[in-house]
Amino acid sequence: MYQWQMTAVDENFELIEIAMPRINKAEALVEIAGCGVCHTDLSFWHYGVRTKHELPLTLGHEISGKVVEGPDHLKGKNVIIPAVLPCGECDICKSGRSNICQNQLMPGNDFHGGFASHIKVPHKYLCPVPDEVLNKYSLAQLAVIADAISTPYQVIEKSELAPGDFAVVIGVGGVGIYGALIAKIKGACVLAIDISDDKLKKVKENGIDATLNSNGLNFKEIKTRVRDIAKELGVTRFGWKIFEFSGTKSGQELAFGLLTFTSTLSIVGFTMDKIEVRLSNLMAFDAKLIGTWGCKPELYPDVIELIIKDQLEIGQFVETIPMSNINQVFKSTLANKFNKRPVLVPDFNRNN
């Protein structure tokens, strides 16, 4: 099997060939169809966030593929590999919060991930892909379910968003665009905020109620415009559901600053930067602040159901690229050159 391995921060990934791994009764061997490039991968590769497995390490946790070895009920099945693989036995798992299981395993962090030809994984929570989904999309495209779609799905469920709520989505890139679309599917009135006209145009074309380009605006100007938009849309001034997907200091500061009475703020994007906020605002507004990590595997079938019912369209937001282009793709992703989620498809051309 082949793997593209990270050897050091900001260094090119290296293609290696290793023996096909053996599996035990709790594992499966999956032939990879596609692996998405996520901001978390950039955090490891560029920003110096430490992986749990020592380098060299094969990154990639947004994976789809076919089971080639494993239990009989899964062998030959097309599957999504959850980005978070819990133990299923601990107190946290039994409390319904398996996404943050302290015994969890994450591909591309705890063990070699999806920028490879094959991957060995625990099979307990592999999510089979129904044939009707594959009539709509390629298995490689569906890799985005493992994180870019399932993560915002979980946080929207946790936020208790209800039909008619005003949802403010900050950052509508690879994960945030699905957050905006899922909030709309759930019946919210959605405002998307970003600094890219192209991204805002795309969400507007997909039914999002309002957009705001915050580039060049100060906080007071943004807040005034958000209030004006809420008034134009006829939504309540209270109980806003605010979702921070940008993973930037400015995005998080804006998100906290938009809190109003009985609001819920959900933090999804990750940054190493620290921000200064007045936590007493949570008290004064009787507001809630929610963190989220990945998505518990139990919710994956619900996500797939949205796609089966044509409620969620993903093709226009995904770009499949040969995996041999991994070094250029990471550099382009870091430079924000992609308007679609890049999904790397194994090809393993050693000349690249």
Domain 150-291 has CATH 3.40.50.720: yes
Distance from C-alpha of 199 to C-alpha of 190, rounded to nearest angstrom: 15
pLDDT at 351 over 70: no
Mean pLDDT of the 235-263 span: 96
- 253-282 residue pLDDT tens: 999 999 999 999 999 998 889 999 999 999
Angle at Cα 86 formed by Cα 118 and Cα 318, nearest 5°? 50
Q: How far is 341 from 332, CA to CA, in rounded Å?
A: 12
Into which CATH architecture does domain 2-147+295-345 fall? Answer: Alpha-Beta Complex (3.90)
Given the DSSP bridges, would you call strands 118-122 and 27-36 parallel, antiparallel or unpaired?
A: antiparallel
Is 210 in a helix, a strand, or coil? strand
Contacts of 137 (CB under 8 A, 6+ apart): 307, 314, 315
Listed by start position, the domains of the chain span 2-147+295-345, 150-291
> Tell me, what's the pLDDT at 173?
86
Model confidence pLDDT, tens digit, residues 57-74: 999 999 999 999 999 999
Q: What is the pLDDT of residue 336?
A: 86
Dist. CA 5–CA 8, nearest whole Å: 9
Nearest to 324 by CA among 341, 338, 344: 344
Q: How far is CA 133 from CA 48, 101, 147, 282, in A?
A: 37, 29, 17, 42
The pLDDT value recorded for residue 226 is: 98
Mean pLDDT, the chain, integer: 95
* Longest Cα–Cα distance in the chain: 62
Q: What is the pLDDT of residue 349?
A: 57
* C-alpha to C-alpha distance for 339 and 318, rounded to whole angstroms: 9
Both tokens assigned to 344: 């790397």
In contact, 238 and 260? CB cutoff 8 Å: yes
Q: Looking at residue 350, what is its pLDDT?
A: 46
